[in-house]
Structures are given as structure tokens and as C-alpha cells.
């Protein structure tokens, strides 16, 4: 396999998040295989996260300051243009062109529809372009993203989605270049979790869509129904932390609902647990489910999307609950909390399902995609 030039372009590649972790994992993996990789963030992060202490890929940021804060429903490029000066925009775009001009031939992996909009009129004829979408089809329909994908991804060399169902749905919008690319699982320990510790783990940003409030209510309903003193460990941080801590205290189980904040070794957290959860109302995929399954954990998840269902097959490697329904989630939790044999069987199945998502296999798929584009 010959060495290639690969640039990952993200709106904000250095914040703490599932899509950011995927991009950094891919960049490091391809660089380990000898490819010349650069990760480019359009905006610097307000709270940058270090994904690799010694990255083998290079990094660049196009704007000097973070993106202006604005109302969440406003369109990203409109608020950026409203607050960035023409000189700032021109300088940032020239920085990207200087990076690509140094490359005779290569691949630009565009991580979001907004990033595709941002580069749409930049002259880069010598660079093959691949668009990724890290959310669900339903999320695209309910936002400006569907229009952006139809407008910009149709002209790329390839448009990649998280599962076959999403790719088929976008194909129905006359995108002829759709394909599926699995997200890699960055953890896959030699030994699976022992599943002896009565601990449930959740990981992610403490924001509204993750519905940690529902998870707390469900745990508070399920915990008294089982004999063992189960704990709920919530990994991550975010603007809702104080409110969620107050909610946990009101359940009377506050000492068994532990807010861990950011952790250095998430793999160790999975290995110390016996159930992994995802309680989101909307979720394109669910990295926490993939990582938990790779560590041998059975899952309880809201049936939020086709992407979630690719990771959790109800009754096989976990239990799916009705989105937004704390009672349904509590019943699913109680089922696994009270049955050690079931946890063991589902955990083993989940780990087996995740073998296809191991980083070497996903990197093979990326290299095969580069070959396909070159033909």
C-alpha cells in the first residue's frame, strides 16, 4: 500500500466528542500505516481535548479564535459570516489552500455538511473529496443538513454514512455516490470485562439530547427492585451537570449515582462496569455503545436510530428501550441488573459483533476506498 496524503477537515476537531474522537483515531491509525495525515480544524476549540499524547499526524487550525457563540438554532455559516470579518474569512481560506497546494495528489475527508459548504468554491481540483456525516438521517431531515448534503455532497467523490440504512435513505434523494463507512472502535482489550461489579456506566457530554435526566430517573426506579447495590457512574461533563447532580440527590440514591467528570482512561471504566447505557433522544450511532461492547458489556439503549440498532440488536447483545420513556428504560435496566447469566451472554455477543469495527479493519476499508477513487 503506497503512502497517501490525507487531510481530515472538521469544523472543530479538538473538542471532546464522539465524532472528534473518531477523526483523531482515524488520523492516528492512517499515520501509523505510513500515510501523510493532517487534521485541520476550521475553528479552534474553546475547550480543546488531547486525544493522543504523541500524535503521528500533523495538525492545523484555520481561524485564530473560536467560533462566535450564538443561538443554537441559527445556521453556522450565517453566524460565522455575521461575526467574522471578510479579512478573517479570506485568511482562513487561504491557509487551507496553502496546505492543499503543497500536495500533488491527495484526499480531503470533510467531516460535516457545514465544512463542505465552507470549502465549496475553493479551487482544489487535484484533491479527491470525501464527505462524511456523523448523525442520523432523521437528524438531517429535521435540520438544514439534508439540504446541505443534497447540495454539496452530491458533487464529491464519495459521500459516507454510518450505516446502510442511512446510505439508502440519502440515495433516495438522488445522491448517486453514497456509501457506508464504519466508525472505528479505539478500544478492544485482550480480556473482556468480568461483569462482577454492580456498576452501570454512561459516557458523553452532559447536554439535553443525551437525556441523562431520563437515565437517572430510570436507575432510581430500577435499583430498589434488585438485591445488589448497583451504582450508576456518569462519565463526562457539560452545562447540565449541576442540575443533574441536584436531580440525583433528590432520588435518595445520591451516593450510588456518581458523577466522574472527564476521565483519562475510559477503557478502564468500561472494564470496571457490567452494563453500558445510552439514553439519548437522538443519536446517529453511539460511540459509547461500541466501546462498551468491545469491552464485553451488554447495553441498555434508547432505540433512537438505525445507527443505534446496528450496534445493539435487541435481545442479542443488549436491550432497547422506547426513546424518552423512563419506565421502558427502567424495565430494561432491571432485566439486566437482575440476571448475571444474561449479562454474560449478551456481553460476549456484543464483543463478537464489534470485531468488524476494530481499527485495523476500518483502516483497510479506508484504503480500499482510496483505491476505488483512484480507479
The set of cell numbers assigned to 298 is: 451488554
Beta-bridge partners for 128: 107
pLDDT at 70: 58
Cell 453511539 found at: 286
Among 25, 8, 15, 306, residue whose Cα is nearest residue 184: 25
- Give the tens place of pLDDT for each residue, 197-243: 999 999 999 999 999 999 999 999 999 999 999 999 999 999 999 99
pLDDT in tens, the chain (375 residues): 689 999 999 999 998 888 899 999 999 999 999 999 999 999 999 989 889 999 999 999 999 999 887 555 545 545 454 589 999 999 999 999 999 999 989 999 999 999 999 999 999 999 999 999 999 999 999 999 999 999 999 999 999 999 999 999 999 999 999 999 999 998 999 999 999 999 999 999 999 999 999 999 999 999 999 999 999 999 999 999 999 999 999 999 979 999 999 898 999 999 999 999 999 998 999 999 999 999 999 999 999 999 999 999 999 999 999 999 999 999 999 999 999 999 999 999 999 999 999 999 999 999 999 999 998
pLDDT at 211: 97
Residue 75: per-residue pLDDT = 54
Distances from the Cα of 46 to the Cαs of 56, 85, 96, 238, in angstroms?
23, 19, 21, 13
Q: How far is CA 259 from CA 204, 214, 248, 272, 321, in A?
A: 12, 15, 10, 15, 23
User: Order of strands across the sheet with 158-161?
Assistant: 58-61, 36-41, 5-10, 106-110, 127-132, 158-161, 178-180
Q: What's the pLDDT at 315?
A: 97
- The span from the CA of 322 to the CA of 66, in Å, is 37
* Nearest-angstrom CA–CA distance, 373 and 375: 6
Domains of the chain: 5-184+358-374 (3.40.50.2000), 199-356 (3.40.50.2000)
pLDDT at 68: 80
Amino acid at each position: 500500500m503506497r503512502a497517501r496524503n490525507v487531510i481530515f477537515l472538521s469544523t472543530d476537531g479538538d473538542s471532546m466528542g464522539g465524532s472528534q474522537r473518531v477523526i483523531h483515531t482515524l488520523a492516528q491509525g492512517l499515520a501509523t500505516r505510513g500515510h501523510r495525515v493532517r487534521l485541520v480544524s476550521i475553528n479552534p476549540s474553546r475547550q480543546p481535548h488531547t486525544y493522543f499524547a504523541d500524535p503521528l499526524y500533523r495538525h492545523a487550525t484555520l481561524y485564530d479564535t473560536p467560533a462566535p457563540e450564538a443561538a443554537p438554532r441559527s445556521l453556522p455559516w450565517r453566524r460565522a459570516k455575521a461575526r467574522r470579518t471578510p479579512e478573517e474569512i479570506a485568511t482562513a481560506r487561504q491557509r487551507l489552500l496553502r496546505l492543499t497546494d503543497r500536495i500533488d495528489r491527495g484526499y480531503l475527508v470533510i467531516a460535516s455538511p457545514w465544512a463542505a459548504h465552507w470549502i465549496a468554491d475553493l479551487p482544489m481540483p487535484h484533491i479527491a473529496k470525501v464527505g462524511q456525516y456523523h448523525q442520523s438521517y432523521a437528524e438531517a431531515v429535521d435540520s438544514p443538513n439534508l439540504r446541505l448534503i443534497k447540495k454539496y455532497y452530491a458533487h464529491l467523490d464519495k459521500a459516507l454514512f454510518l450505516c446502510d440504512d442511512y446510505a439508502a435513505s440519502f440515495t433516495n434523494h438522488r445522491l448517486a455516490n453514497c456509501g457506508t463507512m464504519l466508525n472505528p472502535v479505539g478500544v478492544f482489550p485482550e480480556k473482556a470485562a468480568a461483569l462482577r461489579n454492580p456498576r452501570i456506566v454512561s459516557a458523553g457530554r452532559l447536554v439535553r439530547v443525551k437525556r441523562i435526566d431520563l437515565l437517572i430517573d430510570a436507575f432510581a426506579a430500577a435499583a430498589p427492585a434488585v438485591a445488589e447495590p448497583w451504582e450508576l457512574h456518569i462519565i463526562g461533563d457539560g452545562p447540565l451537570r449541576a442540575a443533574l447532580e441536584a436531580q440525583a440527590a433528590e432520588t435518595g440514591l445520591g451516593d450510588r449515582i456518581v458523577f466522574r467528570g472527564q476521565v483519562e482512561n475510559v477503557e478502564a471504566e468500561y472494564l470496571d462496569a457490567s452494563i453500558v447505557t445510552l439514553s439519548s433522544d437522538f443519536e446517529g450511532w453511539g460511540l459509547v455503545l461500541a466501546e462498551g461492547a468491545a469491552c464485553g458489556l451488554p447495553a441498555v439503549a434508547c432505540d433512537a436510530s438505525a445507527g443505534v440498532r446496528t450496534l445493539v440488536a435487541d435481545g442479542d447483545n443488549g436491550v432497547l428501550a422506547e426513546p424518552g420513556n423512563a419506565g421502558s428504560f427502567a424495565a430494561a435496566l432491571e432485566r439486566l441488573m437482575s440476571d448475571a447469566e444474561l449479562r454474560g451472554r449478551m456481553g460476549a455477543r456484543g464483543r463478537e459483533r464489534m470485531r468488524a469495527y476494530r481499527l485495523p479493519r476500518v483502516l483497510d476499508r479506508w484504503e480500499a476506498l482510496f483505491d476505488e477513487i483512484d480507479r
